[in-house]
Structure 1
Amino acid sequence: MELILVALLIPSVYFSARFFLLSRNIKKSIKDFKYISENRDSNRKLKLNHPDKNFEKLLFEINRYLENTQANKLKYIKREEEIRKEIENISHDLRTPLTSIRGYLELINDETISEKEKKDYISIMQKRSKVLQNLIQEFYDLSRIENNDYNLNMEIVDINRELREQILLFYNDFESKNIYVDINLDKNPVLVKLDGGAIKRVFNNLIQNSIKYSKSSFCMSLIKNDNEVIVEFRNDVEDISKDELSLLFNRFYMKDKSRSSDSSGLGLTISKFLVESMNGEIDVELDEDWIIFRVKFLLD
């Protein structure tokens, strides 16, 4: 009889002890979880120190949820900071030409200025208005691209001809900055399925970027092989590091760290979106004092 009682008592003591430990751990976990919920920045976790495997699994899943919540919170904070910075940049970019236009409007109202001065001021305002229009268009286009609302009309485009036409548009800009230009294009048409307007914009943005940052030389070349075509835009550049290369396609990033009244810093960002939307690739590398942008498309 005593042996039977002992046999029954041992399991009872064992399960009572486990229940006590489980109850104590639950109470402690509830207390810790309440603290963590009220102090999200503490980065504390629930301790997995109970012999019950199911309870440990529960704590593990709760910890994983807390980690994901913290990671999402950090992403949200980072994105909020990026949005705040972008709003500041947009406000600055729009305010600069507007301030210039308002200033010249006040000068035009001055009765003491000559007709020639008035014409000069009107001409400047027209240029500032064009800059403002382009800035607004870039903001609008970026929004459409990011929301997959930028419709592409894919057709057969002669990349060779597009490059020739685009480089001619900037002949005077290269001349005024005394930039030596070296063009190496194919003699025959190079046909690729692209959106005509989009590829014009990509080439336009990359050439403008080269003009802005070239020290003295610019080279544009087209390389065609069996299955792809590569367009390279090279220019010599000052004061740029390899660490900066990864930032060049970021929204609003500018190499000179200062906002320009003629640029939003979105040209390369939009170019990357457009190239990738047309199933192409765009990358950048630094070769000593030369920065090289490469645009690649597969040939059909």
Structure 2
Amino acid sequence: MLVLAIILAAAAALLLIRLVMLRQELGRMTEQLHSYNEGDTGKKIDVALFDQKLEELAGQINRQSRLIAEAEAQKKRIQQEFRQAAVNMSHDIRTPLTSILGYIQLLEEDTLSTEEKHEYVGIVKNRAKRLQALLNDFFELAVIESPDDYLKIEKIDMTDLISGILVDFYDLFNERGITPTIRLAEEKVSIYADESAVRRVVENLLSNTVKYAKGKVEICFERQLGSVELMIINEAKGLAGSDVSLLFDRFYTADLARSTQTSGLGLSIAKSLMNKMGGTLTAELEGEQLRMICRWDVHHNPLV
């Protein structure tokens, strides 16, 4: 009986010691968390006392802290993008609008000849069309990124679709003195996607190429293992490696002087559409060659 009592007393003492140690460790973890929340330290919570449950708790707290930090960083990035977008949007709208108002004032002059009036009216029309296209891009990007915007997913023949788009762009390439090297898949390649969205992606990429490409252009469409790939390669001597990661940012232009010619939304719209279809759009710079790469999963159906 005495032995049993001694054993129980020893067990109670050990349990009490354990509880005291757990209490102290919880207090230590609380202090660490307080210091982290106050910004005094960026160190993660560590556990000195070996206890599986405490370690799991510390792990979950550290994970939550990391998620909060990432959310804050994302929030700051979005705020910065919004401020930059507002500045660029204001500039892009103000430039053609100022030009339109200036030519309208000129048209009010009585000394203008009929030829001059026709010329100025033509300029005003072109500026107005550019402003309209810019506003349409703003609207389209907002619609694309809305969760209420749904794609019409169906099985489409990519080989015929891309061939047709390239035919439509023949004159534009020809005007720039560019004869692209084109390699298309010989067999019929089909994917599940929204045809109008795919068309917009390809047209935006080709439009970007027509505007800024110098020298050799290669367009390659082929089937890979489990995927379909469209690659557009052109020389980009003025593009730095740091610029490539920003190409799909809204309103970004590698050459600031181009901001008077484009809204910088075309590639961003293409990227958003590819993401919504479950595909990818990436850019790579190899030497002085820029590679735009679209990939679709052959078997992927976004609606399933």
TM, length-normalised to structure 1: 0.74
Select 2:166's aligned residue among 160, 163, 168: 163
The 5 Å alignment of 1:288-299 reads 288-295=287-294
The 5 Å alignment of 1:136-155 reads 136-148=135-147, 149-152=149-152, 154=154
Q: What is the aligned partner in structure 1 of residue 178 from structure 2?
A: 180
Q: Which has the larger radius of gyration?
A: 1
Q: What is the aligned partner in structure 1 of residue 302 from structure 2?
A: none
Q: What is the aligned partner in structure 2 of residue 88 from structure 1?
A: 87
Q: What is the aligned partner in structure 2 of residue 240 from structure 1?
A: 239
- From the superposition, tell whether residues 75 and 260 of structure 1 become closer, same or farther in structure 2 (CA, over 3 Å): closer
The 5 Å alignment of 1:1-300 reads 10=10, 13-37=13-37, 39-40=38-39, 42-50=41-49, 53-148=52-147, 149-152=149-152, 154=154, 156=156, 158-159=160-161, 160-168=163-171, 170=172, 174-175=174-175, 177=176, 179-182=177-180, 184=182, 192=190, 195-220=194-219, 231-258=230-257, 260-275=259-274, 282-286=281-285, 288-295=287-294
15-24 or 263-272, which deviates more:
15-24
Residue identity opposite 2:179 in structure 1: V
SS in 2 for 1:293: strand
Matches of 2:20 and 2:198 in 1, distance apart? Answer: 71
Matches of 1:68 and 1:226 in 2, distance apart? Answer: 35
- From the superposition, tell whether residues 13 and 153 of structure 1 become closer, same or farther in structure 2 (CA, over 3 Å): closer
Give the conservation status (yes or no) of the 8 Å contact 1:205–1:267.
yes
Give the conservation status (yes or no) of the 8 Å contact 2:44–2:62.
yes
**How far did residue 288 of structure 1 move?**
4.4
**How far did residue 130 of structure 1 move?**
0.9
Matches of 2:109 and 2:43 in 1, distance apart? Answer: 68
Give the conservation status (yes or no) of the 8 Å contact 2:282–2:292.
yes
- From the superposition, tell whether residues 118 and 32 of structure 1 become closer, same or farther in structure 2 (CA, over 3 Å): same
Matches of 1:113 and 1:67 in 2, distance apart? Answer: 67
SS in 1 for 2:234: strand
Matches of 2:90 and 2:79 in 1, distance apart? Answer: 16
**How far did residue 127 of structure 1 move?**
0.9
TM, length-normalised to structure 2: 0.74
- From the superposition, tell whether residues 249 and 61 of structure 1 become closer, same or farther in structure 2 (CA, over 3 Å): closer
Matches of 1:61 and 1:28 in 2, distance apart? Answer: 16
Matches of 1:238 and 1:125 in 2, distance apart? Answer: 34
Matches of 2:69 and 2:178 in 1, distance apart? Answer: 53
- From the superposition, tell whether residues 120 and 28 of structure 1 become closer, same or farther in structure 2 (CA, over 3 Å): same
Give the unaligned 5+ runs of structure 2. Answer: 300-304
- Once the two structures are superposed, residues 163-208 of structure 1 have per-residue CA deviations (whole angstroms, 9 ceiling, x without a partner) of 212323x25xx43x4x23245477x996756655444433432232
SS in 1 for 2:169: helix
93-102 or 189-198, which deviates more:
189-198
- From the superposition, tell whether residues 42 and 114 of structure 1 become closer, same or farther in structure 2 (CA, over 3 Å): farther
- From the superposition, tell whether residues 167 and 274 of structure 1 become closer, same or farther in structure 2 (CA, over 3 Å): farther
**How far did residue 5 of structure 1 move?**
8.5
Note the aligned Cα RMSD (angstroms): 4.1
Give the unaligned 5+ runs of structure 1. Answer: none
228-237 or 139-148, which deviates more:
228-237
- From the superposition, tell whether residues 222 and 20 of structure 1 become closer, same or farther in structure 2 (CA, over 3 Å): closer
